[in-house]
Structure 1
Amino acid sequence: MTIHNVLDSEVLAQSGDSDAQDEGNTLSAAGAPIERNNPLGYKVTLLSSVMLNLGRMLGAGIYSVPGVILNSVGSVGLLFVFWLLAPLFAFGGLMVYSEYASMFPKRSGAEVVYLEQAYPRPKFLVPIMFAVTSVLLSFSATNSIIFAQYALTIFDIPITPERQTTVALAVCAAGMALVAFSTKWSLRAVNFLTGLKVLSLVFLVFTGALVLGGFTRISDPYANFRSPFSGSTTNPNSLATALVKTNFAFAGWNNAFSVIGEVHTRDPVRTVRKASLLSLLLVACLFFFVNVAYVAAVPKDEIRNSGQLIAALFFQRVYGESFAGKTLPIMVALSCFGNLIAMAVGQTRALREIARQGLLPYPRFFASTKPFGTPLGPVCLKYFLTVFVMVALPARDAFNFLLDLASYPNLVFHVATAIGLWLLRRRRALAGLAPSKYRAKHIYVSLYLLSSIFLLIMPWIPPEPGHGDVSFWYATYCVVGLGVLAMCGVYYWLWIIVLPWLGGYTVVEEVERLEDGALTARLARKYHPSAADADNGERQPLIASS
């Protein structure tokens, strides 16, 4: 969305920041006003950036999805291929994000900023669609559910839907409370828990090496590696499902871009880009060799039927029931809790940026950093949405369905982000602006674009019998995801077009400074003067709509 140029100049002049002025002199200072001094502070360093990415990526995925992926692709060979493809696609996205970030280094929120800049017309359309979708899908249910399953296992409590939901809601409340009360301590918690998670995966990889070396009770560790592509499927739906799951495991490589406005270095883009490269490389290596360990220790059919419990089977076969029952659940639970906090830190910044665009009701509340210097409003919104989806969905299908649903609408925005980068480059070139310092090669942009298009189209093709991952219609999450986007379009049409036409006003933007120093845009109604008023030289006042 585009704020009027005179308004942009005033905001930038108030800031007195040359960097902010340079940013504002791109094509327009679209979206939320630039904050010279971030009210959230500058507590993010290179280490914090790496840990935020690792904390988001090292969640429940590597402990839960390999069995589901093998069930989809049918062979060990394809399983390894997909664990190599996912980081390549993520790398393409990283290059795209780096170029965007170099254009707007003062703005946290990542994709919410990039889309508003790339698509200023129709006015408000793309920001509103992204805003509504981000709000509705900003739940933290998947890691909370896996945490609940393993926490109950630690205490030998039978897993029932009621107990699973209760524990999941409780751990989500604890994580959200930490993010709400202190950015410093939430970052420290992410650093500590992420360090433990990395050590846990290193231990798992080391165990796999012992299995392959014949130092454990696994009699034939190479059995699954013979004829690795035997049983491979060519069904597009199954392949797309597998890619969705591997992408889910790598989700979070871009988490640090969401807090770039809080990075405490002279070149925040370089810091975040470097952190993302390091974290992506480390996780790609760990995930690949963890899967090698799984395949070496557990028979193929057991992996396929393991659901979200592949890691449990691995430790049972290598170390026995007692070790697996005590050690593994603690490892997984810590991973899920750390992932929950890291995700909350990134997503709440995106939600705050949406509020600063004026696209949420009560923008003052959601953009404010009072009373703890944290985005309290977005944290509360995220928790209440998590409560809703976990209570509304059947516990049996909640993990797979929510994982797919959260991914599908975002694929539309990934496509728009890739195409938007080319559009933005063209507009900058026509305006005589220099290319970005971190210009992404066309091959990387195309890789990110094509992988997203593939994942949008292929899930509509029916899977082979026995390869679906929910008990109901396989494409339900696609329909629901597109339904959310359609609802966004209807919301935009009513709010920005129909109601202003009926009421005789135009939606305009105003900048407001809050008590904590935060700057936010506010959408207001500018009423059209009647014929009589025009004759008398009178003007109607501005009346705030939200």
Structure 2
Amino acid sequence: MTAPSPTEAPAPEPALAGAAAPRRRTFGLAAATALVTGNIIGGGIFALPAAVAPYGTVSLVAFVVLSVAAVLLALLFGKLARRSPVTGGLYVYPRDAFGPFAGFLSAWSYWTMCWVSIAALAVAVVGYVDVLIPLHGNHALEGLVALAALWLPAAANFAGTRWVGAVQLVSTVLKFVPLLLVATIGLFFVDADNFGPFNASGQSTPGAVAAAAALLLYSFLGVESAAVSAGEVEDPERTVGRASVLGTLASAVVYILGTVAVFGLVPHDRLVNSGAPFADAVNAITGGSWGGTAIALVAVASITGCLNGWILMAAQMPYAAARDGLFPKPFSKVGKGGVPAFGVWAVAVLGTLLIALNYTAGPDTTFRVLVLITTFTGCVPYLLSAAAQLFWLVQGTPERVRPAGLARDLTVAALSFAFSFWLIAGAGYAAVYQGALFLFAGIPVYVWLRGRQKETAA
């Protein structure tokens, strides 16, 4: 019998200095899938159809391309989780393949993306709450709403992973079902004349696809959620891959069908200037004017659930690195509920500072710059993880790896690497430049931590 591929051989979680005792895994397939779906589908979907409408229906082609690429990433993380079924996956894979410095860069980059994105999502809730309860432009009230949107999901995380999983499951159903209803029922009310031209951009078709994709590139961030939380997942060697693929496919269905429905329900000239395309689509179906309220409720549930999952991700990545001494030691402490409590506190406090900055500073603030940087920092761990898988596959010998399995795994890893590279390139010069500076700003932290390790060992 041929031995299994080295990429599929589970590796036990290393016994590291300061490691916590093994914890009971609380995420089954349903909760893990909800974590992936909930983290992918945030608040952006409610504006996506209007954002890509200027390119015409060619943007649907970009959505399909991105969906295929996201599924490839999901397959990649499933394979990597078979090898290292532990918490902090996107940190663990580069660390095991290339050493502690690569692991640190991945963890630092991902953590940066998480806490800045969390603050941005909390601010995004304000616009939808304003539809339900007019805030009249009062910055103090808007800031309080954003802080509530941040700290309520943080409280669920303090309560433990079981509560996180429950909240994620409920919030995912609350947002997924209404969006899917619009995406399916809306298809029966579609008017072909509303779609407008296939390519409305004036560019070549490949150019229009690339331009539309640049706006949609980050609509699938979160596909890695089950891999990052693998230490909390039951039977992670199998469940992580299944949850990643199922969650990504479910999100892709909602994205594509929802965009098709909105394109066919709202006339193209109106859609281009729409501030709430899904609300306009609901109004077109019902003939009423309550679509804005309904969509605002769904959006609040959507973003709250997304925040619940991302806060967990933001705590677990540095937790894994801190157990290796590559993040400050407090990040390795786990609370009674099984969640790294200090990591939750850190991301909540940093998010609070950014929210305060957003409502007190001018338009060209550090907050806006940092949000731009996340478009780069979120993709660095993808690139390094794909490179790690390629590294392990290249190390394998023909005697130990089935040729068909090797070819399949190499294809998935190579395409995932290319997709990650494309994501980084598509972020734009400013994001890549500023993101690289912010990434390298973490090097002094690494130097200090490694220096302390050598000093302690001596």
Is the pair's TM-score, using the shorter chain for normalization, greater than 0.5? yes
Q: TM-score range by the shorter chain?
A: 0.7 to 0.9
1:446 shift after superposition: 2.3
Aligned to 2:89: 110
CA distance in 1, matches of 2:434, 2:289: 42
Aligned to 2:295: 328
Aligned to 2:239: 271
Aligned to 1:143: 121
Report if the CA contact (8 A) 1:236-1:458 is conserved.
no
Match for 2:455: what amino acid?
A: R
CA distance in 2, matches of 1:459, 1:206: 32
1:395 shift after superposition: 8.6
Mark the CA change 1:68 to 1:350 in structure 2 (over 3 Å): closer, same or farther.
same
Aligned to 1:97: 77
> Which of the residues 442, 445, 451 maps onto 1:488?
442
- Please list, as runs of the form range in 1=range in 2, the aligned pairs for 1:383-398 lying within 5 A after superposition: 383-393=348-358
Mark the CA change 1:159 to 1:483 in structure 2 (over 3 Å): closer, same or farther.
same
Give CA deviations for 1:100-159 in whole Å, capped at 9, x if unaligned: 111112x11110111101112xxx321222233233332112321222211121013334
Match for 1:289: what amino acid?
A: L
Moved more, 192-201 or 319-328: 319-328
> Which of the residues 411, 419, 427 maps onto 2:379?
411
Aligned to 2:392: 424
Mark the CA change 1:22 to 1:199 in structure 2 (over 3 Å): closer, same or farther.
closer
> Which of the residues 80, 83, 106 maps onto 1:130?
106
Aligned to 2:346: 381
CA distance in 1, matches of 2:315, 2:193: 46
1:247 shift after superposition: 3.5
Give CA deviations for 1:173-205 in whole Å, capped at 9, x if unaligned: 111111112221221111111112221112212
Aligned to 2:331: 366
Give CA deviations for 1:408-455 in whole Å, capped at 9, x if unaligned: 12323322222222212233549x866799865332222222222223
1:490 shift after superposition: 4.8
Please, which runs of 5 or more residues in structure 2 have no aligned partner? 1-8
Report if the CA contact (8 A) 2:109-2:439 is conserved.
yes
Report if the CA contact (8 A) 1:118-1:420 is conserved.
yes
1:335 shift after superposition: 0.8
Match for 2:91: what amino acid?
A: V
CA distance in 2, matches of 1:22, 1:329: 44
Aligned to 2:166: 188
- Please list, as runs of the form range in 1=range in 2, the aligned pairs for 1:221-236 lying within 5 A after superposition: 221-233=191-203
Give CA deviations for 1:248-286 in whole Å, capped at 9, x if unaligned: 222222211122222223xx2211211222222222122
Aligned to 1:75: 56
Report if the CA contact (8 A) 2:38-2:306 is conserved.
yes
CA distance in 2, matches of 1:70, 1:48: 34
Aligned to 2:4: none
- Please provide the CA RMSD for this pair: 3.3
Report if the CA contact (8 A) 1:237-1:458 is conserved.
no
- Please list, as runs of the form range in 1=range in 2, the aligned pairs for 1:510-521 lying within 5 A after superposition: none
1:31 shift after superposition: 8.9
Find out whether 1:66 has 2:49 as its counterpart. Answer: yes
CA distance in 2, matches of 1:380, 1:263: 23
Give CA deviations for 1:216-262 in whole Å, capped at 9, x if unaligned: xxxxx222435312335459998666435424222222211122222
Aligned to 2:279: 312
Give CA deviations for 1:458-481 in whole Å, capped at 9, x if unaligned: 444xxxxxxxxxxxxxx5433321
CA distance in 1, matches of 2:52, 2:138: 25
- Please list, as runs of the form range in 1=range in 2, the aligned pairs for 1:109-258 lying within 5 A after superposition: 109-120=88-99, 124-139=100-115, 140-159=118-137, 161-212=139-190, 221-233=191-203, 242-258=212-228
Mark the CA change 1:262 to 1:459 in structure 2 (over 3 Å): closer, same or farther.
closer
Find out whether 1:57 has 2:27 as its counterpart. Answer: no
Report if the CA contact (8 A) 1:138-1:385 is conserved.
no
Give the structure, 1 or 2, with the largest relative contact order (CA under 8 Å, sep 6 or more). Answer: 2
Aligned to 1:453: 421
1:370 shift after superposition: 2.9
Mark the CA change 1:231 to 1:131 in structure 2 (over 3 Å): closer, same or farther.
closer
Aligned to 2:6: none
Report if the CA contact (8 A) 1:30-1:117 is conserved.
no
Give CA deviations for 1:479-518 in whole Å, capped at 9, x if unaligned: 321111221345445665xxx5xxxxxx6xxxxxxxxxxx
Mark the CA change 1:56 to 1:153 in structure 2 (over 3 Å): closer, same or farther.
same
Mark the CA change 1:262 to 1:185 in structure 2 (over 3 Å): closer, same or farther.
same
Find out whether 1:525 has 2:455 as its counterpart. Answer: yes
Mark the CA change 1:76 to 1:247 in structure 2 (over 3 Å): closer, same or farther.
same
Please, which runs of 5 or more residues in structure 1 have no aligned partner? 1-20, 213-220, 461-474, 501-506, 508-522, 527-541
CA distance in 2, matches of 1:332, 1:481: 29
Report if the CA contact (8 A) 1:429-1:435 is conserved.
no
Find out whether 1:23 has 2:4 as its counterpart. Answer: no
Report if the CA contact (8 A) 1:260-1:272 is conserved.
yes
Mark the CA change 1:244 to 1:353 in structure 2 (over 3 Å): closer, same or farther.
farther
In structure 2, the residue corresponding to 1:138 is in which secondary structure? helix
